[in-house]
Amino acid sequence: MQHAEAEQGSDAPFNEQIADGVKLGDPDAVGAVYARLSDRLLGYLMARVHDRATAEDLLEATFIELLLKGYTIRGGSKAIKVWLFRAAHFNALDHLRKVRRRAEDLSDMAEVDVVDVSRGPAEHAEASLLGDEVRAAMLQLSDDQRQVLLLRYVAGFTAAEVASTMDKTDGAIRSLQHRGERSLARLLGPRAAPSGPVRASQGRNVPR
């Protein structure tokens, strides 16, 4: 089946023919979604796991899931976008849990302090998205606050899409975003722009 080609990197939703193809398990349709969303999804994953190779593996796993489970999605292009980032979110969480468990096992065996290996040497990947100072401040937020801000400012999600991805209410998401932004403003001090330090570092309008 042939599909209209999706323009790589575009924020516009892909057409419903592609969405229907994804739900039918059509590899061409999944490839069109990959061309549209893979860069942003990879950036989100790198900001979560701090290692490009790991993020690329998780990206591949996420799109394999889309190919195999796309039939479960109800809705069009927006629903597929939310589904993808939700799958990536849980894949990243599973990876980080495994890393922490391995670190704890090594600590028990060696009886030495173990460095948090979930923050690997490729922190420059996230720095390229958020900037060194903002990245350092982000690491001091709660996991939920950091997750909300990454989905809002890196993935470009609306508050409703973040709520669906994280299985929380819109009000809870807006509260987490507000607290996270206030914490960043406090941590960054005069370097934070009035419209929000993450927004300033991204140079991107954030959807409501």
Place of tokens 């597929």: 80
Q: How far apart are CA 144 and CA 168, in angstroms?
A: 11
Q: How far apart are CA 57 and CA 61, in angstroms?
A: 6
Can you give the pLDDT at residue 117?
39
pLDDT tens column, 32-52? 999 999 999 998 898 888 889
**Residue 189 DSSP one-character state:** G
Say yes or no: domain 1-123 is CATH 3.40.50.2300: no
The DSSP secondary structure of 23-71, one letter per residue, reads HTT-HHHHHHHHHHHHHHHHHHHHHHHS-HHHHHHHHHHHHHHHHHHGG
Encode 16-32: b = buried (16+ Cβ within 10 Å), e = exposed: eebbebbbeebeebbbb
For the question of whether the overall pTM of this predicted structure is more than 0.85, the answer is: no
Q: Which CATH number fits domain 131-203: 1.10.10.10, 2.60.120.10, 3.40.50.1970, 3.90.470.10?
A: 1.10.10.10
Domains 1-123 and 131-203 in one fold: no
Place of tokens 């709520």: 163
pLDDT tens column, 102-139? 766 555 444 433 334 344 444 444 444 456 677 778 88
**Domain limits, the chain:** 1-123, 131-203
